[in-house]
Chain A
Amino acid sequence: MKVNITIDGIKLKVDDSLTVLEAALENNVYIPNLCHHKDLIPSGSCRLCLVEINNRKVQVIACKIKVEEGMTVITDNPEINFIRQMTLELLHVNHTQDCTNCMKNTNCQLQEVTSYIGTNETRIEQMRKNRPLIPVDTSNPFFNLDHNKCILCGICIRTCNEIQGVDALQYGYSGFDTLVCTFLNKPIKESVCESCGECVVRCPVGALIPKNMQRPSRTVKTICPYCGVGCGINLGVRGEKIVSIEGDYESPVNKGRLCVKGRFGYEWINHDERLKTPLIKKAGKFVESGWDEALELIAKNFSKYKSHEFATFSSARCTNEENYVIQKFTRAVMGSNHIDHCARLCHAPSVAGLAQSIGSGAMTNSIKEISDAASIFAIGSNTTESHPIIGLKVKEAKWNGAKIIVANPRKIDLCKFADIWLQHKTGTDVALLMGICRVIVDKNLIDESFIEKRSENFDAFKRSLKEFGLDYVEKITGVPAKQIEAAAEIYASNSPASILYAMGITQHTHGTDNVLAISNLALLTGNIGKLSSGVNPLRGQNNVQGACDMGALPVVYPGYQKVADPKAKQKFEKAWNCKLSDTPGLTLTEIVNSAYNKKIKALYLIGENSLLSEPDANHVRKSLQKLDFFVAQDIFLSETARLADVVLPAASFAEKDGTFTNTERRVQRIRKAINPVGNSQPDWWITCQIAKKMNRKGFDFKNSEEIFNEVALLTPSYKGISYKRIEKEGLQWPVNDEKHKGTPVLHKDVFPTASSKAKFFPLKYRPPAELPDKQYPLILTTERSLYHYHTGTMTRRVDGLNQLNERELVEINPVDAKTIGVNDGDKVCVTSRRGNVDAVAKITNKSPAGTVAMSFHFFESPTNVLTNPALDPVAKIPELKVCAVMIEKG
């Protein structure tokens, strides 16, 4: 509602939710302030925003008073100024007067306030206490904390509390000695700080300041290249270098927020080790070559192979345009459907499972809806580490009153925010979920009208629940029956309820069953197709959703049009003017095996580091070594690219235009900020050149926009999207025509299945393929670190991220550590049936007894040497989350 107020005689109509300070600032009336920040709850600690209200001669602070109808506000008179000046001088007394050497100079709010209010230098000098300077805390690799410049406004403390929910900082000590400090006033690096830098961007003075800060000469709006959240960022460019990244406040995804990788992890872009020119292996050694020579060699060799001998690994790191061109090349030029990408290793079961049950394997809701859910069920997702910005949304939901259920074998950070934490045994998700379903059915908490109107196969599903009595479920999962009952009640009776899941669900030999169990649960309570209510697989890579959408999969063309469907085949044959194969291709894991058996002879691998990312890495190495001809295209010479015959240097996300589709199906623009380093080229350009060298038509694209227009023409869900429409803000597919506004919530009225109804699936519990035994007594599960990304090609080249997490740590429960006889920090050797890896032990309660966890970011400790390549029969995803290992002191 709007109210009428008068500020300094100016009549204004403002929203009644505003404070006096906000109303003034919004209408360009400056009231001096230091502790106010638009993202934070007002604290009223700096006492500078004094005003007089309704002609009462009392000074009150404007940040704590809401506007009211008819209110009159005076922002400036001698009384107000007198108090403000005294307050300000007291701040200056404790502030280092070293403005010219401060990076915040000219950008400092204390300076701004001082120039407005004015100070009396003599008085300040008289009051100044000559105390020794406090040493600057330089422990964090990305920013410094200088207490001598701190004005104790508390913005950093409130940011860490209200926005991040990390609470690394708090006021410590008292009186003159008051400091912003960490637990025990230890250096920041040793605290629980996650280095997100949100406090640094909000610090009004030079107390929290980025290290090695260089001011950019221009900024370019684009999208973060790390995880699937797809945060908006502004790249700061100076000359030909990226020197800073700031969160994009206009982005509907992150509203300016970023995690540590997104904000500080950009050093790799201009890293010396970037590939700058094509490399051809001659006599076992790489020799630099020109583009022409390399492309001709590739064209000549690719032409030699029959379609069934050729395969492509596309990349979820590349743009939609590039994935489109790459799959078009594989299908139209090479006549092969053997194209796949790393989605096989993450959400293949979501694509396969959800397509069967609800018709589409994508998040049904938007990221911003998460914070409005009444209950959230996060299973198999370490949200705060793997999708940090979505993690913030879950915390926000908690603060908004939502009930949070976390199901995870490990005591992840999110457990702190959970109302119930179900610590089920690794790989027992089907039993747990079916147990929850059983409780919901038994207690009649089901949504009968939804089940009747919008679903099918409920009776068969209900019969399959018989097996999952709570005694049986408790025995399998290790979760007390009471907790299962409580979780079921919370989920079923707090609508809208949202399910978030990730690799903990999918990377199993029963990954597809897990996904189906999740959709069963959502359907049972009608929690789908509504705002904040649905099934939300959190996609891993920046463009893994897009790579799937673009048909970089063996069974579908762009827009999930099946290669086996004659109509689709005809459509694409006409569009691409060629003959296409209707035999579904091999999956990524099958391609590796076929290479081993010499059935696949040539491989075109783009932006994938299979040696670190795929299970049973030793087998992968042997398979790739058996290839006749192997082309790798990447931004760095990855461990995998070293095995290639030809290596092509690709441009990074900062050096090209295009689009990424994030986990909430939002197609967003990325923009070229600098020229490709050295002689590198965008991936789409490279693939087009190979096609042209092979004398194929249909690859004469001048820029990425032309490619996108072809995509929109052939992909129904992208039909209404154009570069012009997503200039400012991305659109969420399906976008049916040029006027359609996108689809934040899927399945509102119908499900895109043959019957237009969702389908229940009866399920049975199957244990993981490899369980611990006498020789290999522990379960190894794989994890991710907040500080690194996947195989570390990018993040391991960021010095600061390496400092924050420098080596592979095997997280071992204290009980197991005692049995093995290792202490925290000891070197250990982890062995499975497939190989062994050296790492360092970290003794922690995060891992349950009997289970250890490792990430896969470190080439020195390639965890995937250990993991089990056993596949899910439907989605062909390997069981990366469970394998049996033994640990010895190394």
Chain B
Amino acid sequence: MAGKHSLFGPVDPAADAGYDEDHPPRKGFFTDTSICIGCKACEVACKEWNDVPSDHFSMLGSSYDNSFSLNANQWRHVAFIEQPKRMGEQESGLRRQAAERAVSLGMPAMGAPPDVLKAEALRGDPPQGEVMLPESGQDDAVDRPDFRWLMSSDVCKHCTHAACLDVCPTGSLFRSEFGTVVVQDDICNGCGYCVPACPYGVIERRKGPEGAKNVGIAQKCTLCYDRLDAGATPACAQACPTQSIQFGDVEELRERANARVETLHEAGIMDARLYGNDPDDGVGGAGAFFLLMDEPEVYGFPPDPVVTTKDLPDMFRKAGLAALGLLAGVAVSFVGKRG
């Protein structure tokens, strides 16, 4: 069971947890944020399949993100980031749109309705329905605007070294045969220790809404354990219309991710980078990893997370020394004669 790399280092998590050699290959997600369109189908599909309550309906003023963060009632969360930055060789499409309008196809168009235009023409005003664009090459902002929208669907990382699982005192959190990390709802007593242990802030104790199931219990993505058991794809990946969320064997996904980042680099999109794919990283590699277009913290990820239990042996050593110090201190206090 407990091996040399049980707390830190590359390891097959299912084998480390004691599954036989014939356990299924490790499953995970590769979320390619470069093709996420922010449709939130993953959020909806996850809630539908896993019966996750919808309890927050407020406009947060953070682009199109109104679901705030991953939490007990949000197992997929789509982040929206608006940046004054160009995305690779992106084009605005404005010039093409203008050209299409010149040859009218009788399609509904933006701008004022025709009778208004007519009235304006009678008054001698310039027609406002027509798009006035500067000559190509004159104004780069029209053709290639300095604006990009980053979208990313976040999820539990199903770490190789999962702090939530390590610190769980009841055994409610366990490692599945697929190498994923799952809460057993009927075991968890809601101690809440997993919540501060997670370096990504994923797992949370469900606070409500009243009447919802599992209130008071730690909740997070299960990588659709029930669907995996039946050989099906997790709901979010199934629902993703652009294959931004890809499900599969972690090893194969890692290769796919490497190839994808290479393709993007060749296309001149040098911002592309992988996050959580390295089995030597601070959590031993995530089962759910990402292709990002900017620094991790831009998306709300920690830049270089490390599983807290990496330092646990040293913590216990220090505590042991402190305990011995206390024992010795009290003994010395009682040795003196006076008083």
Q: Do these two chains really belong together in a complex?
A: no
